[in-house]
Chain A
Amino acid sequence: MDDSSSNLHPARPVLEAPDIKRVLTRIAHEIVERAKGADDVVLLGIPTRGVFLARRLAAKLEEITGSAIPVGSLDITMYRDDLRLGPARALAHTEIPAEGVDGRLVVLVDDVLYSGRTIRAALDALGDIGRPRAVQLAVLVDRGHRELPIRADYVGKNLPTSQRETVKVQLTEEDGHDGVLLGTRAPASEHAESGARPRRGTAPAG
């Protein structure tokens, strides 16, 4: 809570475009370091923004290693544990690279790590596609408040937040510009939400 007028423009930037660029470069190097090269790495982004981050990471990895890195997307909608708490959602694309995932090192890529439920769903979805050698997780922002025993292997920025705050990642491909905004949830929507589903005290996903 900064001040009383924060309802109008409550969001303040915590990462700007150059920061995001540097962070992704660092994560790409970390992946190469941990995997001793990136020969068997497959990047799978979680829609919507995880996919764009995965593509950017793949481009960086190609710069570093000199060889193309398979990149795809993994939609987790059908595997969510909160499907029955709202209307059925529209599905996003799942595109597994032609190389497949069997025996490879899959790096899941998402924008924000929050409750951990999205990643749990992603692991379930991945299990129906194949059997990777190992699965790792790269996120741009880790905002805490895990509800499952899940952690990220590569973190762009650790961002301590309260549950009343919102973290909004904006990427050029989807939003026209790069940035990460930290804001406060509008009280109105909080009311409506708790009114509609009183049981639901947790983060919906993340």
Chain B
Amino acid sequence: MKRHLISAADLTRDDAVLILDTAEEMARFADRPIKKLPTLRGRTVVNLFFEDSTRTRISFEAAAKRLSADVINFSAKGSSVSKGESLKDTALTLEAMGADGVVIRHGDSGAPHRLATSGWIGGSVINAGDGTHEHPTQALLDAFTMRRRLVGEEGAALDGRRITIVGDILHSRVARSNVHLLSTLGAHVTLVAPPTLLPIGVERWPCEVSYDLDAVLAKSDAVMMLRVQRERMNAAFFPTEREYARRYGLDGERMARMPEHAIVMHPGPMNRGMEITAAVADSPRCTAVEQVANGVSIRMAVMYLLLGGAEPALSREDSAHPSPATTPDGGAARRPAVEENN
């Protein structure tokens, strides 16, 4: 990864740990009477949301505002996009307004990548969810939550932890980003889903696959329940919702079979009674609310590391996005190590 955060797969282990450690410091600022930091003063962050997502948008907005950036919210509804404007023209408009960072949520997989590599804009692009591709900041906040609950040590990764992700893997950008990030951080990931809700090529992902939730629960350190996305259930992926809930839903009885320290995670919004029962959702082992709070810290960390300096602090050597020619500050040589005097 370079100036952008498009995919969790682009992050090296060092990058990921740096983001988690930075987020840990950001979380400390949240307890202060004055939560605002001057770090991104004078920088402009555009929230470019082609899909509705109030939760993600306000999380990014809160993060940018706490860093004193100017935030412009751009949602597709009621804008020129609904009048037929293309992604390119929208991007050129944002560039003309001087956006330093663009947070993009788009229904089509690959839209953020296109925005970052086309040369339309000079700022950093942060993927806030694209189609069924990736949602890297969600994976980072999940990893942050897991590290806090399961490891409790800064500077550490998630080596050896067993993470189970349950539900609609096929349509889930959260699952995809999590599989990449968690395996980078050394965790063992197991996906549990009906065969109809697993994507083609899942056997090449760095994870295991099971169809039997009860078999893997007992050896899971964290169980992540994915929302059944009713809006995408347009084919016969499973017979009935009741049958899905019986085989793949998490209820109190199943939760009792998890190890004592294990946590239940959910990216929200939850369908109570579907993939998770109310008893589980309200139990202290469920980290759903904590994940929301951690989301702001993670997004502050990502924005600080991408926009805070003259160049991003994350590693530049990477071949996932072959677009060196389009970087406007292509000549920015690595500066020598900073002075020892402070």
The answer to whether A94 touches B25, judged by C-beta atoms less than 8 angstroms apart, is: yes
Nearest CB of B to A44, in Å = 14
The answer to whether B336 touches A193, judged by C-beta atoms less than 8 angstroms apart, is: yes
Mark interface residues in B302-329 (1 if CB within 8 Å of A CB, else 0): 0011111111110000000000000000
The answer to whether A87 touches B25, judged by C-beta atoms less than 8 angstroms apart, is: no
Nearest CB of A to B300, in Å = 10
Nearest CB of B to A41, in Å = 22
The answer to whether A168 touches B340, judged by C-beta atoms less than 8 angstroms apart, is: yes
Q: Is B34 an interface residue (CB 8 A)?
A: yes
Q: Is A138 an interface residue (CB 8 A)?
A: no
Closest B-chain residue to A115, C-beta based?
B341
Nearest CB of B to A9, in Å = 16
Enumerate chain B residues within 8 angstroms of A167, measured Cβ to Cβ. Answer: 341
- Which of B21, B308, B332, B340 is A83 in contact with, Cβ under 8 Å? B308
Interface hub of A75, A87, A168, A193 (most chain B Cβ within 10 A): A87
Enumerate chain B residues within 8 angstroms of A193, measured Cβ to Cβ. Answer: 335-336
Closest A-chain residue to B337, C-beta based?
A189
A112-B342, A167-B341 known; A78+B309 contact, CB < 8 A: no
Decide if the interface of chain B is mainly helix, strand, loop or mixed. Answer: loop
The answer to whether B38 touches A79, judged by C-beta atoms less than 8 angstroms apart, is: yes
Q: How far is the CA of A206 from the CA of B340 in the complex (A)?
A: 10
Enumerate chain B residues within 8 angstroms of A150, measured Cβ to Cβ. Answer: none
Mark interface residues in B153-190 (1 if CB within 8 Å of A CB, else 0): 00000000000000000000000000000000000000
Given A88-B307, A90-B22, list of 11 further CB < 8 A pairs?
A78-B37, A87-B309, A87-B312, A112-B341, A112-B342, A114-B342, A130-B33, A192-B333, A203-B341, A204-B339, A206-B342
Nearest CB of A to B330, in Å = 14
List 27 A-B residue pairs with CB atoms under 8 Å apart, sorted by A's residue number.
A46-B342, A78-B308, A79-B37, A79-B38, A83-B309, A85-B309, A86-B309, A86-B310, A86-B335, A87-B311, A87-B313, A88-B305, A88-B306, A88-B313, A89-B338, A90-B22, A110-B342, A124-B38, A128-B34, A166-B339, A166-B340, A189-B336, A192-B335, A193-B336, A196-B336, A205-B339, A206-B341
Q: Is B261 an interface residue (CB 8 A)?
A: no
The answer to whether A197 touches B335, judged by C-beta atoms less than 8 angstroms apart, is: yes
Q: How far is the CA of A203 from the CA of B338 in the complex (A)?
A: 11
Query: Number of B interface residues, CB 8 Å?
Result: 32
Q: Is B247 an interface residue (CB 8 A)?
A: no
- The residues of B with any CB-CB pair to A shorter than 8 Å are 18, 21-22, 25-26, 28, 32-34, 36-39, 304-313, 332-333, 335-336, 338-342
Nearest CB of B to A80, in Å = 9
Nearest CB of B to A196, in Å = 5
The answer to whether B341 touches A205, judged by C-beta atoms less than 8 angstroms apart, is: yes
The answer to whether B313 touches A85, judged by C-beta atoms less than 8 angstroms apart, is: no
Nearest CB of A to B331, in Å = 9
Nearest CB of B to A181, in Å = 10
Closest B-chain residue to A91, C-beta based?
B25
A83-B39, A112-B341 known; A78+B304 contact, CB < 8 A: yes
Nearest CB of B to A177, in Å = 16
Enumerate chain A residues within 8 angstroms of B26, measured Cβ to Cβ. Answer: 91
Nearest CB of A to B107, in Å = 31
Enumerate chain A residues within 8 angstroms of B304, measured Cβ to Cβ. Answer: 78, 88
Which residues of chain A (110-135) have a CB below 8 Å from chain B? 110-112, 114, 118, 124, 128-130
Mark interface residues in A155-172 (1 if CB within 8 Å of B CB, else 0): 000000000001110000
Q: Is A34 an interface residue (CB 8 A)?
A: no
Q: How far is the CA of A134 from the CA of B83 in the complex (A)?
A: 59
